[in-house]
Amino acid sequence: MSDNISASFQAHDKRFEAIVGTSPTVELLAENQNYSFAHEAGVFFPDTNTLYITSNRCIGPDGEQKVHITRVDLSEEPLIYNEIPANIPMANGGINYGKDHVLFCGQGSMTQPSGLYCMSTTAPYKTELLKGDFHGRQFNSVNDVVIHTDGSIWFTDPIYGFEQGYRPSPCLPNQVYRWSPDTGGIRAVADGFGRPNGICFSPDETIVYITDTDRVHGDGTVDDRRVSSIYAFDVLKYHGEPFLANRRLFAMADQGIPDGIKCDLEGNVYSGCGDGINIWSPGGVLLGRILIKGGVANFCFGRNGTIFALNEHRLWRIKLRVGLKGALLGL
């Protein structure tokens, strides 16, 4: 590695420099010590240069639990960010849904279902529950979501809401689902997880990566004997329908848990972990780490080698090699 690379970047393989470039930077964009406003989602809209993020769960004096959604205007200096009044129960992961909507994972509450919620990116931020059950059985706490180019929506559903006291007893196992809005068909596509969490496709969509954050349960218990790993599956077709096959251990996070997960267009795999963002080659070799104290739950790519990292009370902008592009938006 070059001597001028910041101490915030830790290399494990010489290929790491091709990702971060010769002069990567980490810049603090916003800080709010009142609550953990920068926890999940991270949905970037290039046309308006805006970012949508969700907070960690906030517990009020009366014990009521809530998640706040924040809109960040990246065009202004200093940065402008404001909470928006969206009616999504315990929002968590999210993804672009067309040019002017966000598809959020609503973890649900005791009175509102968990599921996939569509929110407009313009005031009054109208929301709609698109899918809230598996053939009549309520989801547990839908956590993260990704959209295939065929229009199908894939998402994870762990039981964190029940463990944290804002969802009823689970009606379903810890599983991963595929929903087709065109046909209305819903299928369970992967099971055998402790707590399925982040999900993303490889650039060519032949592989899906799913993180298992079983090491940390929603009640706060941590057990080092439980997994904190990323699993890879091949996306195959049988009788004209997609199936996941050849489940394999792709990588294990040695610090914290691997939460949000993304790929760049070269197939490298990034995940938010207990020490920041860890980066693996498509072959599962740990290339390096972007070190951020306190870790990163989730993040997203912006333009041209930019990453926005969510670090609970802080929002960071990371600049890597010029020309590096995230697979999700191809920017």
Q: What is the pLDDT of residues 133-152, one digit of tens each?
A: 999 999 999 999 999 999 99
> What whole-number distance in Å separates Cα of residue 91 and Cα of residue 143?
8
Mean pLDDT (the chain, rounded): 96
Q: Which residues of 71-98 are buried (b: 16+ CB within 10 A; e: fewer)?
A: bbebeeeeeebeeeebbbbbbbbbbbbe
pLDDT at 3: 43
pLDDT tens-place string over residues 232-272 = 999 999 999 999 999 999 999 999 999 999 999 999 999 99
pLDDT tens-place string over residues 67-125 = 999 999 999 888 899 999 999 999 999 999 999 999 999 999 999 999 999 999 999 99
pLDDT at 78: 85
- Are 259 and 215 within 8 A, CB to CB? no
pLDDT at 214: 98
Task: Assess if residue 40 is contained within a domain.
Answer: yes
Label residue 17 by pLDDT band (50, 70, 90). Answer: very high
Task: Assess if residue 330 is contained within a domain.
Answer: no
Q: Which residues of 193-207 are buried (b: 16+ CB within 10 A; e: fewer)?
A: bbbbbbbbbbbeeeb
- Are 175 and 157 within 8 A, CB to CB? yes
Task: Assess if residue 104 is contained within a domain.
Answer: yes
pLDDT tens-place string over residues 183-194 = 999 999 999 999
pLDDT at 2: 43
For 256, the 3-state DSSP assignment is coil
What's the total number of domains in the chain? 1
Rg (CA), the chain: 19
Instruction: Read off the pLDDT of each residue in 32-52 and give the average, rounded to a whole number.
Output: 97
Residue 276 has pLDDT above 70, yes or no: yes
Give me the domain span that covers residue 301.
Answer: 9-319
Residue 307 has pLDDT above 70, yes or no: yes
Residue 1 has pLDDT above 80, yes or no: no
Burial of 308 (0-12, 13-18, 19+ CB in 10 A): buried
For 294, the 3-state DSSP assignment is coil
Q: 252: which strand partners?
A: 229
- CATH at 87: 2.120.10.30
Task: Give residue 236's identity as a one-letter amino acid code.
Answer: L
Task: Assess if residue 4 is contained within a domain.
Answer: no
> What whole-number distance in Å separates Cα of residue 177 and Cα of residue 327?
21
For 160, the 3-state DSSP assignment is helix
Task: Assess if residue 2 is contained within a domain.
Answer: no
Instruction: Read off the pLDDT of each residue in 311-321 and give the average, rounded to a whole number.
Output: 97
Residue 4 has pLDDT above 50, yes or no: no
Instruction: Read off the pLDDT of each residue in 314-331 and give the average, rounded to a whole number.
Output: 97
Task: Assess if residue 102 is contained within a domain.
Answer: yes
> What whole-number distance in Å separates Cα of residue 279 and Cα of residue 24?
15
Helix (H) / strand (E) element for 156: namely strand 153-157
> What whole-number distance in Å separates Cα of residue 296 and Cα of residue 320?
17
- The candidate with the shortest Cα–Cα distance to 307, out of 20, 73, 104, is 20
How many CA atoms lie less than 13 Å away from 276 in the CB half-sphere?
A: 18
